[in-house]
Structure 1
Amino acid sequence: MHTLNLGILAHVDAGKTSLTERLLHAAGVIDEIGSVDDGSTQTDSLALERQRGITIKSAVVSFVVDDIAVNLIDTPGHPDFIAEVERVLGVLDGAVLVISAVEGVQAQSRVLMRTLRRLRIPTLVFVNKIDRAGARYGTLLGSIAERLAPGIVAMGGAEGLGTRDARSAPFAADDTAFTTDLVDLLTSRDDALLAAYVNAPETVSYRRLRDALAAQTGQALVHPVFFGSAATGAGVAELIAGITELLPTAQGDAQAPASGTVFKIDRGPAGEKAAYVRMVSGTVRTRDVLTFRGADGRESVGKVSAIGVFDGGAEVRSTSVGAGRIGTLHGLGDIRIGDTIGEAAAKPVRHHFAPPTLETVVVPGRDTDRGALLLALGRLAEQDPLIGLRQDDVRQEVSVSLYGEVQKEVIQATLADDFGVDVTFRETTTICLERPVGSGAAFEIIDKDPNPFLATVGLRVDPAPTGSGVEFRREVELGSMPYSFMRAVEETVLTTLDQGIHGWRVTDCTVTMTHSGYWPRQSHSHAVFDKTMSSTAGDFRNLTPLVLMSALRRAGTTVYEPLHHFRIELPSDTFGTLMPVLARLRAVPGTPDMSGTTCVLEGEIPAARVHELQQLLPGLTRGEGVLESAFAQYRPVVGPAPERPRTDNDPLHRKEYLLRTSRGGAAGACGGGAGPAGHAPDPPALSATSDRGRRSRSSPARRSGMTECPCALPRS
């Protein structure tokens, strides 16, 4: 039996959870279709989901059609929970994007389809709610082609639109208009098919066209469109046929070494972890000892105590899970979302959407709940790493990252219901970022003031293309000092850049290690290890932030704020009322598109002002204005750069930093700064004694030939 891992994606309220229920019913998995409004659906299992009628967490159910076992993953539609969608994308073989026949293409629809196309995930489009008043067909197809993807083809018509009797009318082989559309669409992307059609059109049979349609759909070149209603079941049979015929099934060698990707973490009633894994190859069995790795280089080992697979709409216990399938692994206490298990052939989950652009401080209702709050937030961050906990020990505060206000409400309710911790939130603020303006370099030399650490570190910061993130390079040879020291520098660079000159995360830069040096492990005459004479990884972890921030200061940074692209549809006579408000919110509107009594206005607005615009719009437009918004880009902040309080030891203030981190807290090491950017000082003259440990020139440390200045360093 083949396996198809299928994602159901949509803008909120387009009906994807209802479609999931209908698919399970059509496959015979459930006898009665659940209702989102009544909180009786299979995939909305959380109490909060049932209360609110929205999907918050992705859920997996399974059904069988012919010889294909479909693992169907229902994902949230609300943009505040886009992180759940992101984790699912990396494990899909195909997707169904649900569009409302009434509301049409919405903001989240565009974000999702843009990402699906970029990742080349085969995608079908299901236009839902054809039985609802206001449902459209022809104009909606044009909107899908214009705003989602040009390579679409309708697989059927829709009759009785807007009535309870609305139904799908699939096109057949003898429908000339349909076959002509297929030929036009498919030959524009297949030269061999075009040549065959031009030279001998009789050889291009309907069967060949359907095969070509399946092939191009599998390559994410075209997107078949189906019409129907999840509420009545209209068009669902045709959609199921399209899923099995047009979407590719999972590939993978069950006999190869085990390899998979973790895309979700849950905890059971007793707190035990369950890791949802998509197997890429091989087979995992109960009691197997697995190695799993994180994108940050972390590596752990654990023993599988139990395995769950999805069958008949529910999770059932199994002794194994094989290539192409989705299962839950129990007993792996240290495993995290995004980890790869087994062989490294499995690709880690990557970020496909913009990170959260808002944050807020979480305040416990009682001071005695601070410990419980940290534990609870840690559990939530385990299930959703993008909430980005930021703990400030100085102010005794903890912040979380957010996509929007609804997510904040859900976090508050979850903390109260699941953990018994009542919280409030401070005002939501924007998360900015910093980018280097130019290049800057600095270094500090071992055993040379003002450096109190037994390490030599030199770093250069250079700007990199937008969106490239942070890259670490070396101009020193990897063998110039122990790898653990090299690794300590690299890890500390990445951690330190979480807080730049103004306190924001620094991105889009290249950090190059230009100098290195250390003192090898030394001991006294009785072979007792002397830490004061030997470099440790801690020396490099403590020195690196000072050098990096000195280099970053010389490079300079600009603070960027997140912008959302907005689209407002409003009555034309309210346009003049809206414009002054947009100006006050620092929005930059484009040219309005006036069409009769309706105006469509697009532009950009700071992310921090989107929620305020949402609240003001109904009053400004007599309740008729419709706002769509999605993250667009970052732009430089106009005016003074906003500052963010630091939560680290603050390497920007050398004296205080050294008091917290210096080996001996030597006050005399606090003066001065790093060497001048781009220029190494002259080699220090070797003196008979030094002020650190009073080592003589003939000490073991000297005789070992370790490097103490850049002149002696091997460089590449």
Structure 2
Amino acid sequence: MVANRDQMYIITNRYFQAETHVSFPFVVNISCLFSAFGMIKITLSTVVLRRLMHTKLPVSVHHKVKRPKVYLDNDACDRNLDISKIRNIGLVAHIDAGKTTTTERMLYMSGNISEPGLVDAGTTTTDYMVQERERGITIASAIVSIYWAFYRLNLIDTPGHVDFTLEVERSLRVVDGALVILDGSEGVEAQTLTVWHQAEKFQIPSMVYINKLDKSNANLQFCLDSIRKLMKVEPLLINTPVFDLSGHLTGVTDLVRMMHYYWPEENGLRYDEKACCLEELNSFELKHRENLLSKLADLDDHFAEILLSDKEPSLNSADVERSLRQATIRRRVIPVLCGSSFRNRGIQPLLNAICQYLPSPLDCIPAVLQFYNGRLCCLAFKIVHDHYLGPLTYIRLYGGSLSKNSKVFNINRNCIESVTKIFIPHGDVMHEAEFASQGQIVVLPGLKSTIIGDTIVDSHHTAEHAKKLFEAQNVDSLERRDNQHPILAGIDVPEPVFYCTVEPSAVSEQNKLDLALTKLAREDPSIRTRIDSDSQQTILEAMGELHVEIIKDRLKRDYGLDVFLGPLQVNYRETVTVPMTCAKRIHDFVGSTDRSVAVELKVEPAPGAGPLKKVRWSHEQGKKALEDCYPQFILNSVIDGCFNACSHGPLLNSLVVDVDIVVQKLEVDRGVPVAAIAACTSQCLLEAMAGANSILLEPVSELKISIPANFGHDVLRDLNHRRAKVLDLNLDVENDVKCIHAKVPLQELQGYATCLRTLTSGMGQFHMIGVAYEPMTRDQSDIVLRRLTGMDL
């Protein structure tokens, strides 16, 4: 009976979850009936069936059975899949919280792989890059698709290291929900908080999974407190861990459905469930059950009425699930689940919760779709280069559908692209499909001009029609670009904070190096290259030491280039501290004709504004606005001149940030070339900034350092030498661990990992939390200027 049931699962993998014992002839009859009506296509492999007949299976299996890996026709399944059954979920966590291990167990429990991969062994599905398997960390986001209880889950495993923040950013941009994974012994850690803030920026409904509760020092209450304190949200525990007398995690209690789940076997495929009543709950479980119902009643008037009319024992769990789902999608609560992924405990309830409580694409429809009337509208969010297929562009479909051998229109690039094939990604494996529909994440090979952040529609006509609707409604809340088309919000690319020179081993390989760096920068926009105007050397800009190491390694492995890197330097910024107004006039002589352009600009500090985004125009009372006096090409030349000046500040030719620029006067004679207008504006702004007491800003990172308490003095002394500012100092008496929270300039952190290991005999660890720019003192600025230019401030 069990063998027949396993065959049933393989034959109808995504439509039958093997929840009932059914004879094999019955399944074949049902499958043939479905096939006759054209609902699904089923191919029975004689080899597979013969292998199954000789497979030894457990005698008693109640829920999940380990199955051999079988590939079915993806296209047949996807055509009948309801969009409301799709879940696009981003998995985010601090490094080593168990995110990739959790993904592997999800693949294993759903039957996508026959054995779960191990991070330490380098056998995981999502960490497929050589660099990832060697280091045991996630570097690039990876997408896998699984089917669970009639739902399709597109899981995006994201990096946990601060150097790869862009990977997290662009992954969160295209998901509908997020799963935040915590280490049960650490709670909310540094990078957890960073990625949580990124998820908050996109208003993503989320849930938390507390992993590694099998560890001896795991503390569930500490995790809940850290969520409340650091993430600034109220955690809503919806299942609790169950331990045996030896302290081993054996199951969880579902506080929504009032069920106990137990895993009697190590592989976790089989689990038993048992209904429970209030009298069987311990005080901790009872407290959180009451908290769950009370919180939902506060948020949902309809549920409050049900709760008042029905006594607790007769309360329908479906009403609790409905109310919890609504509250989660509205981001009013954060459901919290428990488990141990490595021990195969809690994975099935976690998958069920993702399906039940996190939103579908229909719950998260961007406002821009109203202008496309159900036609194709999608966003390019990731690009990788394949040696055979060329650039592979990952896109998320927000509206409409897409078929292979078709044409699409890129609004941002204003060009037509050809879609020859469509792939469904599964780690580094691509499954070809005939079409893709709303809510799906697919890969398109061969898009020549598309870059990350571009909006793609089905035709130029559709784009123009949407533009007319957009302008007619004048929806100010939507993101706008110069071409005024309604487009999906792009992806914010962080500014690189480190740079170094990069040279090939031979001059003959310079062109090959330039091409390789161009491809890498297209894949990862946080990588930037430029040519130094003085030395004519290639400058590589990146996010950190590890980022640079990965780039060098990829150049060697993927492109056969053994490059030399110069010393790593930090990218400084410049800003002004006082307002300054400056006027500039330049003359352009053509024969005996004197044509001139005059500009008057005012620059003033704008703390927190970041890089220049727009230029303002003066509006004097009773006078015509400046931007109404000249054609757009002249205004654009002025704007270009401002942006050019801000890209090369007066001190170090660094990027100028946190400034507000106002064009107060503009005089342009007829026939003056646009280059002269831009040059006059640029010179005027540089002179204004030079007189506005410009200062240097340096990148500063927050550090969370954990060390044995007896090494505290040595580590603090070293931090003082590195110009650190200690923000907090805590002593964990129980574990004899000192925790240091400090701000340290990035320039002082080069090689810090090695130094900390030396100071603590290999027992210390630290984590960086983002990067911000802060003003330097005059003395420090003088040191930097002398070192880089030989001049004083």
What interval of TM-score do these two structures reach, taking the shorter chain for normalisation? 0.7 to 0.9
- Name 1:59's counterpart in structure 2: 142
SS of the residue corresponding to residue 382 of structure 2 reads: strand
Equivalent in 689, 692, 697 of residue 552 of structure 1: 689
CA–CA distance in structure 2, aligned partners of residues 332 and 17 of structure 1: 30
Per the alignment, in what secondary structure is the counterpart of residue 423 of structure 2?
A: strand
Q: 1:211 aligns with which of 304, 313, 322?
A: 322
- Give the match for residue 634 of structure 1: 773
One-letter identity of the residue aligned with 1:53: G
Tell me what 2:713 maps to: 576
User: Which sits farther off after the overlay, 136-145 or 409-418?
Assistant: 136-145
Q: Distance in 1 between matches of 2:578 and 2:668?
A: 30
Q: 1:561 to 1:17 in 2, by over 3 A?
A: same
| Counterpart Cα distance in 1 of 2:610 and 2:546 | 30
Q: Does 1:601 align with 2:740?
A: yes
Within 5 A, what are the aligned runs for 1:436-515? 436-445=576-585, 447=587, 455-470=597-612, 471-475=614-618, 476-502=625-651, 503-515=653-665
Aligned residue identity for 1:282: G
Whole-angstrom CA distance in 2 between matches of 1:428 and 1:312: 33
Q: Could you give the per-residue CA deviations for residues 394-450 of structure 1, whole angstroms, max 9, x where no partner exists?
A: 312222233322222111110011111112322222222122222233344464799
Q: Given residue 756 of structure 2, which amino acid in structure 1 is its aligned partner? A: L
Q: Please give the secondary structure, in 1, of the residue aligned with 2:146.
A: strand
Partner of 2:108: 25
Residue 254 (structure 2) aligns with: 170
Name 2:384's counterpart in structure 1: 266
Equivalence for 1:392: 532
Could you tell me whether the CA contact under 8 Å between 2:637 and 2:674 is conserved in 1?
yes
**What one-letter code is carried by the residue in structure 2 that aligns with 1:81?**
F
Task: Give yes or no for contact 2:726–2:740 (8 Å, CA) kept in 1.
Answer: yes
**Which amino acid is the alignment partner of residue 538 of structure 2?**
V
- Matching residue of 2:340: 229
Cα distance 1:193–1:179, how it changes in 2: closer, same or farther (>3 A)?
farther
Alpha carbons 1:24, 1:313 under 8 Å: kept: no
Measure, in 2, the Cα distance between the counterparts of 1:157 and 1:85: 29
- Alignment counterpart, residue 508 of structure 2, candidates 368, 389, 403: 368
CA offset digits 1:208-261 (Å, max 9, x no partner) = 333222112112232212222322321000000100011000025795233222
* 1:99 CA displacement: 1.6
Deviations 1:488-539 (A, max 9, x none): 332342243122112221112222333444455xxxxxxxxxxxxx333333
Aligned to 1:669: none
Q: Any residues of structure 2 matched to 1:341-352 within 5 Å, and which?
A: 341-342=456-457, 343=463, 344-351=485-492
Moved more, 545-554 or 82-91: 545-554
Partner of 2:205: 122
| Structure in which a larger fraction of residues adopt helix | 2
Which residue matches 2:674? 537
Q: TM-score, with normalisation over the residues of structure 2?
A: 0.73
Contact 2:585 2:680 in 1 (8 A): no
Q: Are residue 315 (structure 1) and residue 456 (structure 2) matched?
A: no
Name the residue aligned to 1:680: none
1:628 alignment partner AA: H
Residue identity in the other structure for 2:161: H
For 2:586 and 2:727, locate their aligned partners in 1 and report how far apart those are by CA, in whole Å: 57
Q: Distance in 2 between matches of 1:490 and 1:645?
A: 33
Cα shift at 1:91 = 0.6
Q: How many residues align?
A: 629
**Which stretch shows the higher mean deviation, 113-122 or 285-294?**
285-294
Tell whether the 8 Å contact from 1:562 to 1:631 is kept in structure 2 after alignment: no
Contact (CA 8 Å) 2:724, 2:745: kept in 1 or not?
A: yes
Q: Provide the C-alpha distance between the structure 2 equivalents of 1:232 and 1:182, rounded to a whole number of angstroms.
A: 27
**Letter of the structure 1 residue corresponding to residue 716 of structure 2:** M
Q: Compared with structure 1, are the counterparts of its residues 583 and 646 closer, same or farther at alpha carbon in structure 2 (3 Å cutoff)?
A: closer
2:303 and 2:323 in contact (8 A); partners too: no
Separation in 2, partners of 1:598, 1:37:
26
Q: Contact between 1:179 and 1:206, CA under 8 Å: does it hold in 2? A: no
- Measure, in 2, the Cα distance between the counterparts of 1:442 and 1:404: 38
CA spacing shift, 1:49–1:617, aligned 2, 3 Å: closer
1:180 corresponds to which residue? Answer: 290
* Residue of structure 2 in register with 1:713 after alignment: none
Q: Which amino acid aligns with 1:554?
A: G
Write out per-residue CA displacement over residues 116-173 of structure 1, whole angstroms, 9 at most, x where no aligned residue: 2343211121222334454333333333333334321222222348977644333343
Cα distance in 1 for partners of 2:405, 2:633 equals 32
Instruction: Give the 3 Å change call, closer, same or farther, for CA 240–433 of structure 1 in structure 2.
Output: same
Asked if the contact 2:626/2:665 (under 8 Å) is kept, the reply is no
Amino acid at match of 1:514: Q
Query: Is the contact between residue 62 and residue 314 of structure 1 (CA under 8 Å) also seen in structure 2?
Result: no
| Equivalent residue letter for 1:182 | L
Matched, 1:564 2:704: no
Q: Does 1:136 align with 2:286?
A: no
Q: Is 1:49 equivalent to 2:139 in the alignment?
A: no
> Contact between 1:504 and 1:644, CA under 8 Å: does it hold in 2?
no
For 2:356, the equivalent position in structure 1 comes to 245
Is 2:705–2:766's contact at 8 Å kept on the other side of the alignment? yes
Q: What displacement does 1:479 show? A: 4.5
Cα distance in 1, alignment partners of residues 218 and 750 from structure 2: 29
Matched, 1:335 2:450: yes
How far has the Cα of 1:78 moved from its partner? 1.9
In structure 2, C-alpha distance between the alignment counterparts of 1:646 and 1:401, rounded to whole Å: 17
- Which residue, 146, 155, 167 being the options, matches 2:229? 146
Secondary structure class of the residue paired with 1:90: helix
Q: Normalising by structure 1, report the TM-score.
A: 0.80
* TM superposition shift of 1:337: 0.9
- Higher mean C-alpha displacement, 379-388 vs 101-110: 101-110
Alpha-carbon deviations, 1:268-305, whole Å to 9, x = none?
224622211112222334454433244xxx54443333
Which sits farther off after the overlay, 368-377 or 489-498? 489-498
Rounded to whole Å, the distance in 2 between the matches of 1:205 and 1:43 is 39
The 1:585–1:496 alpha-carbon spacing in structure 2 relative to 1, beyond 3 Å, is same
5+ residue gaps in structure 1? Answer: 521-533, 648-716
SS in 1 for 2:208: strand
Change (3 A) 1:487 1:105: same
CA 1:30/1:580 → structure 2, altered by over 3 Å: closer, same or farther? Answer: closer
Question: Within 2, Cα distance between the matches of 1:338 and 1:228?
Answer: 36
Q: SS state of the match for residue 23, structure 1? A: helix
Query: Could you tell me how far apart the structure 1 residues matched to 2:350 and 2:656 are?
Result: 46
Gaps of 5+ in 2: 1-81, 259-276, 279-285, 458-462, 464-484, 619-624
The residue aligned with 1:664 is none
2:268 matched residue in structure 1: none
Distance in 2 (alpha carbons) for counterparts of 1:310 and 1:617: 40
Q: Which whole-Å CA distance do the structure 1 matches of 2:655 and 2:672 have between them?
A: 30
Tell me the residue number matched to 1:79.
Answer: 162
Alignment deviations for residues 376-405 of structure 1 (CA, whole Å, 9 cap, x no partner): 111111111112223214312222233322
Q: Report the 3-state secondary structure (helix = DSSP H, G, I; strand = E; otherwise coil) of the residue aligned with 1:592.
A: strand
Indicate conservation of the 8 Å contact 1:474/1:513, yes or no.
Answer: yes
Distance 2:707 2:455 in 1: 48
* Residue pair 1:58, 1:84 contacting (<8 A) in 2 also: yes
CA spacing shift, 1:644–1:267, aligned 2, 3 Å: farther
Counterpart selection for 2:194 from 98, 107, 111? 111
1:183 partner letter: L
